[in-house]
Structure 1
Amino acid sequence: MEKIDTPYRYFPWFTGALMAGVLVVPGFYALLSLWLALFGAWHVRGWTQRIWRPSLAIGAMPIWVGMAVYVLFGVTTGLFHGYKAAYFEAYVPMFLAPFIVNAVVVARPPVKMLWLGAATAAVLAGLVGSYQSLYLLMGRAGGVMNNVIMFGDLAVVLAMVSAFGAFFGVNDADPKWMRRFMFLGAAMGVWASLLSGSKGGWISILMLSVILVWMALRHWHWVRRVAVAGAVLGGVVAAAFLAPPDLVVNRISQGLQGASAWFTTGQITEGSVSIRLEKWKQAIGMVADKPLTGWTTEGSVIEIDKRLRQTSAGAYPGGGRWTQTENDLLQAAIVHGVPGLASCLFLYIGFLWGFIRIRQQDVQNALWVGVAAVGALLVVLMLEFGLSVVVLGRNAFRHTLIAWAMLALAYLILFRSQRPAQK
């Protein structure tokens, strides 16, 4: 079960190269989805027997239902309001999802492609981030992303996959360098996130450190697990102090001061925490005013900008126009009301519930547990990122969520075809 022989020798190399470049080569995060989907569409014959029935057998129904509800609501709403074609781009990754799964099941690439692809991507992200922040002195590292927050958050995703690969994806028959390289990928992914200055991903780093240690060392006594988890957390904090102060320590301090000022006086004093708190406050009011229909895409942009200017009175020095709430679920609620919020929750909960159900089918198998956990934690990470950025409103997040979750699901289908789950 630890190795899958592929009839397409080029597939893991080409796919792995696309995976490796998702943060450092323009457009690779979308090309990865498109390549897998095209390959899967070319071999679509027999899809029902090869993908649909096996996925249901392992408990993936919530995943498909969650995507279906999200796409059906979004597309129907878009057609009803007459939105432009760009609006429907948000649903492209979901339409590609079944073909992505089919591609992996047909090609049967070694499972190491998942772990090594993520680790290589994380290492490259760390190197590019270091070059941008420490050598070019560009400040916050962003790789090739048009937003440093996306770079920092997605680096955490790569670090997570790398770390799970090191603990669950390597066996005694594999070369020793493989596990070391995956640990390097995990460290470099965390480092890239720190260099991005994106505070939204740092909570995830701490959370993942504890979850991973607790799962990987599940056979140890709880006292030893607590000690190791504490040591890992200490290492993450030490890394934060090694990064330039303006990117980590100072930003944390400014964020805490901004939150304190907002809760005390209601003033917007900086462009990260206090402005987001004010946006969320105004968004809740907008949802209360139009809970069923929402404000539509264009209407929400106009209304939130209007409300922020009325309340802040120009206090925010950044100026410009505020168009989003910087919160995934609140953004869905103000645009399309409570039904829009419900469609997002269907997507997230469907993925999370599906991968948790799948994991329970073979809890004694480390590789099965590791891959299923990657799928579940992808959703947890996106939900956490969504507290400070609109995840489902950005291509890089959408393609990463769908493509990497479908990779995990495809491998689980392959594993089941090789060996039935234990009962």
Structure 2
Amino acid sequence: MLNRLSAWLLIGSVGLLPAMLLSTYSGGSAAFYLAIIASALMIASAPRRHDVSLPQLLKPYWAVLIAFAMPMAAVAVSATLNASWGSTDVEKSLRLAVGVPIMLAAMLYCPPAQLKQTLWGMMLAAWISTITVLSLIYPNLLNRPDTKQYNAVSYGNLTLLITAIIAYALPLRLTRFERTEKVLKIAAVVVGFVGFILTQTRSGWLAIPLFLGLGIALHGRIRHPLRAFAVLVGLVVAVLLIGSANPLLRDRTVLVYTQSHECLNENPTADTSICVRLQLWRSALGMIASDPLTGFGGSRGFQQRMGQLGAEGKVSPYVASGFGEPHNDMLEVLASYGILGGIGLLLVYGVPARIFLRRMRRDHGAAIRATATMGAATCLGFAVFGLTELMFRGMRTVGFYAVLVGLFLVLSDPRLVSPRKKEGADAG
């Protein structure tokens, strides 16, 4: 009884996490910790299986568990050598090092047919994010929303990722009402993409070719690489034309060139959107060069260094006082924790992504390939988003990434899909 209740508590908390993340400030973290508690209860109350033990279930994922422990090791080494421990840095790394093994183990005990019901939460989140954006900009749809849960860039990026995941879920059947279910999924994709466009997030468009390419690999029957590339280019152009219908987004895209030219050739400390990023990146690269091995012991040191650079006139006063991070995940971990931090982040992206990409092969069934594509989009999408935005700024987003990776690893695990269901995506 306890095991069944804890399983549904886990499924419910994971399913609600995306919507809570995009509609409340602390709901994402609350859902994450509720999922951890449910996972621990489920592991403790799970009936012991004689055919396979928990270590055997986790055996294919030892590389993932080691990879997700690396950020914790980087934080510990850097903080010890610099005598600078930050509670936020420690908790973020613990969400990866401890949260992923616990949830992965619990999800491996969950029936896949029940676990995939969490995808309804993605559809709910797409609607909530777009309604939130519309409520902030109505009646002038050309305004840029001042989202409270995240800045508009992170909010738009997360909305786009969730929208892509729903699109990849089209081959999956969650109920016996196949047509109704597909209509709901397609509606959520359209609504989510509209919400993303309305955030006027430029950097999110960098991930569009990635998501479309994964979609072609999943849904397309094109075997010739050149044809697949031509289809990808055509889809990218079509999507860009849709996005260009927003005149302010179109104008903001033009500003990328003009502001970059000004910052690189005329005024290197201009307080424009692009030049602010370039100043932050230059500053972070300088910090990395000064202490590449251990960094400066935590994310709090970045703000202090920026103050020094502002006093020296190397960055504008606005940049020196208004930004405590470099708007780039890799530069952030390299500056904060040194080379070990950079290796840890690459492993957090790359190790699960490699598993997902291998499971996208056509010799696997539709359900496995669909959920593997969702996982690949999560890992690679965060990597692309992190080039121009600090996606792992807050603990709640770290927890969201950890949950999605664990969820899609289990849902795409070939051992958990019976041969009878491999070629279909039957309702649970």
Name the TM tier (shorter chain).
Answer: 0.7 to 0.9
> 295-304 vs 193-202, which deviates more?
295-304
**Which residue of structure 1 lines up, in the alignment, with residue 166 of structure 2?**
162
d(CA) in 2 for partners of 1:129 and 1:150?
13
**Which residue of structure 1 lines up, in the alignment, with residue 426 of structure 2?**
none
Report SS of the residue matched to 1:141.
Answer: coil
Letter in 2 for 1:391: M
Pairwise mapping of residues 80-159 of structure 1 onto structure 2 (< 5 A)?
81-94=83-96, 95-108=98-111, 110=114, 112-135=116-139, 139-141=143-145, 143-159=147-163
In structure 1, the gaps of 5 or more residues are 1-5
d(CA) in 1 for partners of 2:190 and 2:311?
42
Letter in 2 for 1:286: M
> 203-212 vs 218-227, which deviates more?
218-227
1:179 lines up with 2:144 in the alignment:
no
Letter in 2 for 1:394: G
- Determine which of 198, 211, 223 is the counterpart of 1:195: 198
d(CA) in 2 for partners of 1:92 and 1:329?
19
In structure 2, the gaps of 5 or more residues are 423-428
Residue 411 of structure 1 deviates from its aligned partner by 1.9
Residue 373 of structure 1 deviates from its aligned partner by 1.9
- Determine which of 209, 212, 223 is the counterpart of 1:209: 212
**Which residue of structure 2 lines up, in the alignment, with residue 365 of structure 1?**
365
d(CA) in 2 for partners of 1:76 and 1:229?
44
d(CA) in 1 for partners of 2:22 and 2:175?
31
Percent identity of the aligned residues?
16
Task: Give the TM-score, by structure 1 length.
Answer: 0.84
d(CA) in 2 for partners of 1:306 and 1:333?
19
> 180-189 vs 108-117, which deviates more?
108-117
Residue 145 of structure 1 deviates from its aligned partner by 1.2
**Which residue of structure 1 lines up, in the alignment, with residue 258 of structure 2?**
257
Retained in 2: the 8 A contact 1:23–1:125? yes
Report SS of the residue matched to 1:197.
Answer: coil
Residue 192 of structure 1 deviates from its aligned partner by 1.9
Q: 1:283-327 CA distances to partner (integer Å, 9 max, x unpaired)? A: 22221121223223343322233225534564x767733322111
Retained in 2: the 8 A contact 1:66–1:347? yes
**Which residue of structure 2 lines up, in the alignment, with residue 287 of structure 1?**
288
d(CA) in 2 for partners of 1:310 and 1:14?
49
d(CA) in 1 for partners of 2:292 and 2:319?
30
**Which residue of structure 2 lines up, in the alignment, with residue 36 of structure 1?**
35
Letter in 1 for 2:254: S
Report SS of the residue matched to 1:296.
Answer: coil
Relative distance call for 1:259 and 1:396 in structure 2 (3 A) is farther
Relative distance call for 1:313 and 1:307 in structure 2 (3 A) is closer
d(CA) in 1 for partners of 2:192 and 2:395?
20
d(CA) in 2 for partners of 1:14 and 1:295?
36
d(CA) in 2 for partners of 1:10 and 1:325?
38
d(CA) in 1 for partners of 2:307 and 2:272?
15
d(CA) in 2 for partners of 1:51 and 1:141?
46
Task: Give the TM-score, by structure 2 length.
Answer: 0.83
**Which residue of structure 2 lines up, in the alignment, with residue 53 of structure 1?**
56
Residue 253 of structure 1 deviates from its aligned partner by 1.5
Relative distance call for 1:30 and 1:317 in structure 2 (3 A) is closer
When the two chains are superposed, the root-mean-square deviation of aligned CA atoms in Å is: 3.2
**Alignment size in residue pairs:** 409
